[in-house]
Structure 1
Amino acid sequence: MLVSRFFCRFKPPGLRIFSSDPVWSAGVMSGFSSQPPSRDVFVRYSFGRPVLSLRLPAGQQCRFTVTPMLTTVGDLLRDITAKDPGVHTAALLNGGGQRISSCTFMENVLNEDFQLVINGITHSVRSLGQGSSHEHMLGVDDMKYVVRLLQSALTLPQRQHAAHAELLAARERLAEQLQPLETVRVKMAQEAESRASLLGWAGLAYLSLQGGFLGYLTWYVFAWDVMEPVTFFITCSTSMMFFAYYVLTKQDLIYPNVRDRQFLHFFHLRASQQKFNIKKYNELKEELAKVEGDLSTLRSAIRLQVDPPQPQKAA
């Protein structure tokens, strides 16, 4: 391929190379010069390079990236043939219907409209314009941006390890600040848990004594005719107490929720007595959780670079 490019670049002036018979070229000129642009074949720019999008005879839409100053017509046709075994013949024609030599660089082809013939089917391709096929020349700002990207890519492992060390230091610092607060919080939480449990046992004891006392009055002191209205009013009073709890707290009287509410009440009461800074404790916990999350993400990225995923073997 390099030899062919050498001879094509230094061919004698005035020499035109055709791979087909002139009679065949004349027939092509008359038969394919007026074809409308095909929707199956078009040229677009992607990341600064022209890309030929082509639907092959097998029905697969393929993209061929073209380097205008390096890719020749023969290179492009070989890539198309290698991509689909169903491509038996492929050729490029200029706007006049003449076959373009395989030594011609795509830089010259992309400047004008051309035609792509595959298995005898002609596709007209519209050019992107005069001079648009040349390589994109970067400006000063673009070159600075590319240099920064290269520098970032080269220094990425060092920066990741430095960030990992900074996160470890931040985690240790936050852990040291949280340690005395955490000790006090655990002690206060245990006290609040004990008082909430004691309140529950006290409620159970009250209900047990109330039921026993009502039974004693019913069977040993008074008759049921006397105690029936008493128990009715006690039931009504209990219902009023439950409704009053809902009005004051805007919550249903469900025992787990009541227990948690009493726990928080006792905890904050104890914190105010010991002047425990709950706001500072919550801020430190949130900051520590954020550092832990960043550290986990950074470790995953470093581990992915050190141990790249192995391709799975087909069963």
Structure 2
Amino acid sequence: EVTINYRHGLPVITLTLPTRSERCRFTVKPMVTTVGAFLQDVRREDKGIEKAEVFATDGSKVSDATLMEVLLMNDFKLVINKTAYSVSPPVKDKLSSEHATEMEDIKSLVHRLFVALHLENHQIRKERELLQKLDHLKEELLPLEQMKARITDSADAKTSRLLWVGLALMSTQGGALAWLTWWVYSWDIMEPVTYFITYGSAMAFYAYFVLTKQDYIYPDAKDRQFLHYFHRKSKTQHFNVERYNKLKDDLAEAEESLRRLRQPLHLRLPIQEISDKD
């Protein structure tokens, strides 16, 4: 049998422990204690309890997150192992409207006091967790950053070398056309040649647009070639670009969370003190 009595304004649930076959009292705080916390206290008291659940009278299971204050408003069933107990909480005297208003004010005041007393500890604990997460992410990023720096240097060197090769080819082409125009042939012969060279260059630029859907702009073409060399080198060096980007995103998110946590409105500190802490 499970009985419920009120002592000093708090409900006391008395039940028989299955292993020791003795009565045990559990004093709960209805506005704070949840059903899951109550069941955990029961299992902690008797290690032989393998299953403890609470069901409503219609057979539906009561969530562990439900407050005991809500549970004690109606009858319910307490199932311990394979034994089910029907529980009927005593009916509390209804408060007058004035007393009910006073109780709501007291609850609100207690809630504000709880927040005021524990907010700073929560912020300190959260800040410590974020700092530990930042250190962990930076440790994971350090070898990837070093590998990325080497790949970036190699890709940048190849891109610069390709640009210089292009300049050398254009200079060679200009010199060859000048030599053929003034020393070998005349401008009448070389003019059609230069026309077709110009037309071929225009076709090459148009082909670039068809393949890349971008105009042939020198900075964009350089960046595209750099990315080509970078990703090709990443595959040979087994550099995981997706994992690196994921870690960078997590790092930025953690830094943003830490910055927001350290805002003066959250810490209730002046801006100057925040600057000193940073």
Question: What TM-score results when the alignment is normalised by the length of structure 1?
Answer: 0.52
Cα deviation for residue 148 of structure 1 reads 3.6
1:254 alignment counterpart? 217
Change in CA separation of 1:216 and 1:290 when aligned onto 2, cut-off 3 Å: same
Three-state SS of the structure 1 residue aligned to 2:100 is coil
> For 1:231, which of 170, 190, 194 is the aligned residue?
194
Cα separation, 2, equivalents of 1:272 and 1:144:
62
Q: Write out aligned runs for 1:210-229 (5 A).
A: 210-229=173-192
1:242 alignment counterpart? 205
Unaligned 5+ runs, structure 2: 1-96, 273-278
Q: State the Cα RMSD in Å.
A: 2.5
> For 1:285, which of 248, 252, 263 is the aligned residue?
248
Three-state SS of the structure 2 residue aligned to 1:137 is helix
Instruction: Report if the CA contact (8 A) 1:246-1:252 is conserved.
Output: yes
Deviates more, 1:143-152 or 1:290-299: 143-152
> For 2:238, which of 275, 278, 283 is the aligned residue?
275
Q: Percent identity?
A: 45
AA paired with 1:182?
A: E
Cα separation, 2, equivalents of 1:267 and 1:239:
28
Cα separation, 1, equivalents of 2:158 and 2:271:
54
AA paired with 2:179?
A: Y
Alignment partner of 1:174 is 2:132: no
Instruction: Report if the CA contact (8 A) 2:264-2:270 is conserved.
Output: no
> For 1:299, which of 262, 265, 276 is the aligned residue?
262
Q: Write out aligned runs for 1:43-192 (5 A).
A: 137-138=100-101, 147-192=110-155
Unaligned 5+ runs, structure 1: 1-133, 310-315
Cα deviation for residue 296 of structure 1 reads 1.3
Cα separation, 1, equivalents of 2:148 and 2:271:
43
Cα deviation for residue 188 of structure 1 reads 0.3
Higher normalized helix content (fraction of residues): 2
Cα separation, 2, equivalents of 1:258 and 1:191:
18
AA paired with 1:266?
A: Y
AA paired with 2:128?
A: A
Cα separation, 2, equivalents of 1:157 and 1:302:
12
Cα deviation for residue 151 of structure 1 reads 1.2
Instruction: Report if the CA contact (8 A) 1:160-1:302 is conserved.
Output: no
Instruction: Report if the CA contact (8 A) 1:192-1:263 is conserved.
Output: yes
Change in CA separation of 1:143 and 1:279 when aligned onto 2, cut-off 3 Å: farther
Q: Deviations over 1:117-152 (max 9, x none)?
A: xxxxxxxxxxxxxxxxx8683497886565444312
Question: What TM-score results when the alignment is normalised by the length of structure 2?
Answer: 0.59
Instruction: Report if the CA contact (8 A) 2:155-2:230 is conserved.
Output: yes
Cα deviation for residue 274 of structure 1 reads 1.1
AA paired with 2:219?
A: P
AA paired with 1:164?
A: E
Instruction: Report if the CA contact (8 A) 2:120-2:267 is conserved.
Output: no
Cα separation, 1, equivalents of 2:126 and 2:184:
81
Cα deviation for residue 308 of structure 1 reads 7.2
